[in-house]
Every structure is written in structure tokens, then in C-alpha cells.
Chains A and B, each alone.
Chain A
């Protein structure tokens, strides 16, 4: 399958820092770096993915999402996914791949391989922290709002659908707003009537670690509905957690930036496909030319009917 080269490095989304800089914070412009480090005396070189901190201090989302929740959710759950991923891929083919590539490879078209869970959850949580900001909520504007109104009817209807998806994801999982570019699920299939309207916003929900990257969508916004995301603050009241998230935490700036990036990448991908298709059409076929040249060596060149 055509590798989507660094399709969504959402974790590289630059975000104005808010409040105190944490000592372990990496520069916002850098993707999670693969670092090759020598581990103690055993001379084992390991590739490592970093645990990126959220783009705000752990108490910055209070009183809506408590510092305690961030300390456990980021400091324990997210950290464990990253650490276990690093341990898991040592010495395997996955070592050295980008996180997004590991996710696609390990998803294995649904026949999930062991590294998928940790890789996808590492990515999902990065994406989740960046989907929120202190003083978030409210309404989007501009192109994003236009698209939302086009594809959902109104911002209110969008909110309703998103909340419903989040509330009805049974068990652990995530709800997403994603940008679905004009792609068919079958290789070599061509949409006979491609149009701008085929590129649209969709709301999807996914179980456990699954995310829309595996469906070739561009994720724009997510809410974590694993119980650990809300249990300390809301106990069983998932609906209240979802409301709080929508009203107080969603970073529409982040969503907007991701949408712009998605649109650009979708367009780039289309151009790339066009170009490749054109190349194939104009590629000299190996049927006659060589033979003719070979033949011409042996026949009189008086015959110039061949217009090359």
C-alpha cells in the first residue's frame, strides 16, 4: 500500500506555550524524536519514542479536568504506553519507523499485531492533549465552521452527534472528528465522479486503541472515553465529562490547524496520484521500439514510414 509519508504528524503541531514550561518539554516544532541511545553497560542500542508533555502545565485544565487526572493519565497511562512500546519494538522490523508507520503496519488491516496497542495509544494520547487547551470550548470559525455547517447542518447538530458518539462508544475507546478525503477503500479503484464534496468531515468512534489513521482518514479532534480519562473527576458520569470537554476544553485552534494541514496533504496526495497516473500513460511501452531499432540494423533505412 502507498505509504502516506508523514501523513499526520499532529504531534508536531505548533502550539503557543501556555504558562510554565516544564523542564522535560521538547521544542514544539519537533516531532517526537527517534533517539538512538546506548543503554547502560549492556551495549544495547535502542530506538526510543519520547513521552511528550501536554502543551500546558498539568494543572492548567482545572477545575474542569483535575491535575490529579493529568498526573495519572499522562504521567502513568500515557507514559506506560510509550515505555512499553520502546521495549516491545527493540530488535524488530518496527524499530526505526515513525509512530504513524508503526500504527499502520501493526494494524495489519485489522489482524492486529502486538505493537499496535502501545503505538496507537501513544499517538492517541499525544493527539488528545493537543486537542485541549486551558480556556477552550466555544465555537470554531472560518473554513472549519463552514465545513461543519455543510457536513452536519449546524454546529449544534455536530455537537450533538459528537457527544452521542462519545457516549455510545461501549467499553473503552475514542470519539473523533475526522477529515475524510476522496478515497475509495479498494486498491486500484477509481472514483468516476470525484468532487470536492467527497472530501468531508465525519464523526467516528473507535474501540480501545483504534484510531482513524487506520482508515486513512485525517483525525482532527478526539476525546478519550476510556474510564481512566474521567473516572477520578466524574466517576460513572461520562455524559457530564463529555459536556465539560465540549464546553470548556476543546481547542478549536488545534482542530483548525489540523484541518488546514489535512486539506493540504489531501491535495498533495491527489496531485501525486495524478502525476503518477500521467507518468504511467506516457511511459514508452516495450512492445515495438526496441525490435524496430534492432530490425533497422538489418534492413535498408530507405523506409522512413516510422515516424519516431
Chain B
């Protein structure tokens, strides 16, 4: 009984605390993840200049603005300011999406001497052959979709967890792949915003899409695939 009343008191106090905790729960903000390789390590496929700008400026800006939007959202939620909560959704989608997508992207790339460009083996390799006939066919399709995308966006190889198959999708601006389907998991994303290639490839996006395959990190994509299709 003593135990029970202890439990009750504890539950009570926990209850009180949890209300306060909900209100003042610390907001998690984000910081720029380090690249797992040097800026120049992906040359000549992607120049060091681009990698540095892309990482230190573009990705950092998304993170900075995402954090700002999250702080404003946090405050608005606490105050019950629905107008502001709704108003912030665009900024969160843009900047949060930018952070999500670029974090995946850095892992999708690897220097050649660390496996960049090496074809996928194991279950992902097999799934690619089953879904697309061959790796070459997949690469050709992804590159075509990426080249045809109007404006800014991403081209993805994704796993549809529900249908249990691989899909190629594009998203506009910084929309994450999940906006195209709640069961979609990104395995590989290629940034086709102009900032991803312009200094080196100028208007010739197809050349960027041809060369990037030399530094695609299939090991990472395989790892995600194995985990998500288990």
C-alpha cells in the first residue's frame, strides 16, 4: 500500500511535471553535419569549390533558417498562436526539407577510392535488376528524370515499403521524398538545383548527371535498403 501511494504520489507529481515538461521541453535544433570526406575528394566528378559552397553555404543556410523557424514554431505552439503555426509551415518545409535532403546527399556520395561508383551488390543489386532490368537501365532512367526536371528539385531512387518495390521519383524544390508517398524511403537522391553543378557544368545538367555516378556511394544505399526491407 505504501508502494501504491508512493506510486500515486509519483504519478501525480509526474503528471504535474509532465505538463510543465511539455510546455518547456527543450527544442532540439540542428547543426551542420561534417562531410565524411574532403571537399576535393569527389573530383573531377564534382569540384571542390562546389562541394565547399554547397556544404558550408547552402546546407548551412537551410539549417540556420530551419532552426529559426523551429524556434518560432515552438513559441507559437506554446502561446497557442495558430495563425503563426500555420504560417511557418512553408519555411519549415523549405528549410527542414533542405536539411533532410542534403544530409542524405552527402552520404550518397563517396570518393572513388572509398567505393564511390562501385555497383551495388547484395539485395539492392538484385532488386535493381528485378525492378529495372539492369543497373545501366536504372542509371539511364534516373538521369533522364533528373535532366527533365523543370526548375529546382531532386531525383530519387526510393523504396516503397508498402508495395515492396523500388521507385524513381522527383520532388520539387526541397520537398523530401516522403511528400510523394508516406511509404517511400529515400535510398539515393541527386540534387539537381543549379547550385549543385553550375560552377562546373554551367547549363549542361546532363553532363553532371552522367559524371555523378562515378562517385555514388552504393554501399550506403544498400545499407538503407537492407534495413528498410527487413
Contacts and interface: CB of A to CB of B under 8 A. Distances in A.
Interface of A: 72, 76-77, 80, 117, 170-173, 207-209, 226-228, 231-232, 235-236
A175 to B, nearest CB: 15
A76 to B, nearest CB: 4
A229 to B, nearest CB: 9
B94 A170 contact: yes
A207 B151 contact: yes
A170 B95 CA distance: 10
Contacts, number: 53
A227 B194 contact: yes
Interface string B87-131: 000100010000000000000000000000000000000000000
B151 A171 contact: yes
Given A171-B173, A235-B53, A227 B203 contact: no
A173 B151 contact: yes
Contacts of A171: 151-153, 172-174, 193
A232 B199 contact: yes
Contacts of B222: none
Contacts of A77: 203
A232 B201 CA distance: 11
A64 B163 CA distance: 53
A172 B203 contact: no
B57 A227 contact: no
A265 to B, nearest CB: 30
Closest 6 CB pairs of A and B: A227-B194, A172-B151, A208-B151, A171-B173, A171-B152, A236-B57
Contacts of B58: 236
B161 interface: no
User: Could you say which of A80, A209, A235 has the most chain B C-beta atoms within 10 Å of its C-beta?
Assistant: A235
